[in-house]
Amino acid sequence: MSKSGKEEKPAKSKGKLGLILGAVGLLAVGGGGMFGLVQAGVIGGGHHEAKQDNNPKLIRKGEVDPYAPVSDKKEEGGAAEVDGEGGDEYRTAYYTFSEEFTSNLKNSDAMVQMALACSTRRDGRVLMWLKKHELAIRSQLLTIIADTPEENVYTMAGKEQLQKRMTAAINKVLTQKEGFGGVDAVYFRSFIVQ
């Protein structure tokens, strides 16, 4: 064997060993990086928990509302509340605003005075939030009433539009304050135009 033949074999061995070690190193770095991405939830997604929905839930008739407001009044001889079999699948709870709303109407000398209530089919948190943020809600509702033209308060269509605007305003305030609205409708308990 020649001198050059002996030198070539060790050089080839070192080259193969270097390639093998380099490949193993790349696999280790790549595998570690991949493991990190999977654990961080960037890829794969099988191991991270889904974010739980903590918004108020619809309450079916007959279901217990875990957030139902506690009644201060003791009804003597009253029967337990019973839901009807037909109609809406969900129970409806009502909130009555503590004071009447009195405001002028847009571009008019007329005044309107109304007592309002609203409804929700969601759990009792919506009722709690209505009470908690009644001041901010009242302010928004008075602004809407003052922006209503007089001719709208005399027609059924005008009153229905006013109710929709008020419902949207209440939900906007609740969403800003609590992250969720939940009011389905606004109702007039009394409605007087002077």
pLDDT tens digit string along 47-56? 555 677 889 9
Phi first, then psi: give them for residue 2, nearest 5 degrees: -90, 165
pLDDT tens digit string along 47-99? 555 677 889 999 999 999 999 988 766 556 667 778 888 889 999 999 999 99
Give me 171's structure tokens.
């939900």
CB-side neighbour CA atoms (13 Å) of 143: 11
DSSP state for residue 43 in the 8-state scheme: S
Q: Record the pTM.
A: 0.71
CA–chain centroid gap for 22, Å, is: 53
